[in-house]
A = this chain, B = another copy of it.
Amino acid sequence: MIHNFNAGPSILPKQVFAQAAEAIQNYNNTGLSILEIGHRTSLFEDVMNEARSLVKELMLLDDQHEVLFLHGGASTQFMQVPMNLLNEKDTAAFADTGIWSTKAIKEARLFGNVDIVCSSKEANYSFIPKDFAVPNDAKYFHITTNNTIYGTQWQKIPSVSIPFIADMSSDILSRSIDFNAFDLIYAGAQKNIGCAGVNLVVVKNNILGKVKRTIPTIMDYRNHIKEGSMLNTPPVFAIYVSMLTLRWLKEIGGVAEVEKLNNAKAKMLYNEIDSNPLFRGTVATEDRSKMNVCFTAIDKEVESNFLEFSTKNGIVGIKGHRSSGGFRASLYNALPLESVQILVEIMSSFASKAG
């Protein structure tokens, strides 16, 4: 039995794998593969429509928010957001909470000015900044709601009076927050939405069409909205897998239910880290992520021994990001509680043996 703690691409529900495999051989009893159907047939239009509707329903979005499934991942949005929203002399405000924020900031600077209103860089991004002011004359304020590499997460979403934008790649649909408070949300699918190869963008219509530059056709959100997210051939299969995963989430009770599960998983693992003499959490307790649990071993030998021991016991994907080392266990929506139980047992028995 394998327990997949990959940071992304990452575990999806078993039923999604079964349904996706079936659809590749024979999609909905058409005798055709999902990979060979035309995207402008009702066969696929139904998939796209259901996926978009499920996002609206699960995120409780109001009618001003449009749902798009676009090619690319968050790295595309780092430039597409300022291209659509930031004039050359405008300023965008950013919270700098890690590498992904830094990358978003770098791209925004190509289109306008950037004001970094807060940063935890000096502390190796081990906490989420609390005291900062967002200037009212900035065009928008951008945060990264969960920082996959460091294991921090905004537990309290700030309230701002200017357009509010979030990269939610690694915690979207994992907890109940007011998604309508955001004017633009983007997320690569490969954690809680589906597989790699598609990008979810939720955008409020009224923030668009205000920049002076000419935007290439494929980069202008308005064109995608007008064409119902079918401006060009979409990534058909990745959207199909998203639809299946969203269906599963609805079936198990939606965001509120999965949040309870996610809370239970995170609590179980952090408890073990805090009580086990061989491991230590790496970030401020109050900012701990419920999606990516980062921890280190007391020394390098313990680290490599535990990696070997856990791998032998079916644990996959807990090696920390190459830039921060240590361990990272990702607890995305589809990871069962049982996998966390096993990990905790392994950590505990490893400590007993060492002790």
Judge whether A38 is part of the interface by a CB distance below 8 angstroms. Answer: yes
Judge whether A10 is part of the interface by a CB distance below 8 angstroms. Answer: yes
Judge whether A281 is part of the interface by a CB distance below 8 angstroms. Answer: no
Say how far A85's CB is from chain B's closest CB, in angstroms.
Answer: 14
Task: Report whether A33 and B12 are in contact in the complex, using a CB–CB cutoff of 8 Å.
Answer: yes
**Complex-state Cα separation, A219 to B111, whole angstroms:** 14
Within 8 A of B (CB), among A207-261: 214, 216-219, 231-238, 241
Residues of chain B within 8 A of A35, CB atoms compared: 9, 12, 17, 20, 195-196, 241
**Complex-state Cα separation, A40 to B149, whole angstroms:** 14
Judge whether A157 is part of the interface by a CB distance below 8 angstroms. Answer: no
Judge whether A164 is part of the interface by a CB distance below 8 angstroms. Answer: no
Task: Report whether A106 and B234 are in contact in the complex, using a CB–CB cutoff of 8 Å.
Answer: no
Residues of chain B within 8 A of A103, CB atoms compared: 217
Which chain B residue shows the least CB distance to A11? B36
Residues of chain B within 8 A of A24, CB atoms compared: 17, 20-21, 24
**Complex-state Cα separation, A197 to B151, whole angstroms:** 30
Residues of chain B within 8 A of A322, CB atoms compared: 40
Judge whether A264 is part of the interface by a CB distance below 8 angstroms. Answer: no
Judge whether A333 is part of the interface by a CB distance below 8 angstroms. Answer: no
Task: Report whether A217 and B18 are in contact in the complex, using a CB–CB cutoff of 8 Å.
Answer: no
Task: Report whether B36 and A233 are in contact in the complex, using a CB–CB cutoff of 8 Å.
Answer: no
Judge whether A192 is part of the interface by a CB distance below 8 angstroms. Answer: no
Contacts A10-B36, A17-B25 given; indicate if A236 touches B71 (C-beta within 8 A).
Answer: no
The one of B40, B106, B232 in contact with A73, judged by C-beta atoms closer than 8 angstroms, is B232
Judge whether A163 is part of the interface by a CB distance below 8 angstroms. Answer: no
Say how far A20's CB is from chain B's closest CB, in angstroms.
Answer: 5
Judge whether A37 is part of the interface by a CB distance below 8 angstroms. Answer: yes
22 A-B pairs with CB atoms under 8 Å apart are A6-B37, A6-B38, A8-B233, A9-B37, A12-B33, A20-B35, A21-B24, A21-B25, A39-B196, A72-B218, A74-B232, A75-B217, A78-B218, A107-B217, A107-B218, A188-B233, A195-B237, A196-B235, A197-B237, A197-B238, A198-B235, A235-B235
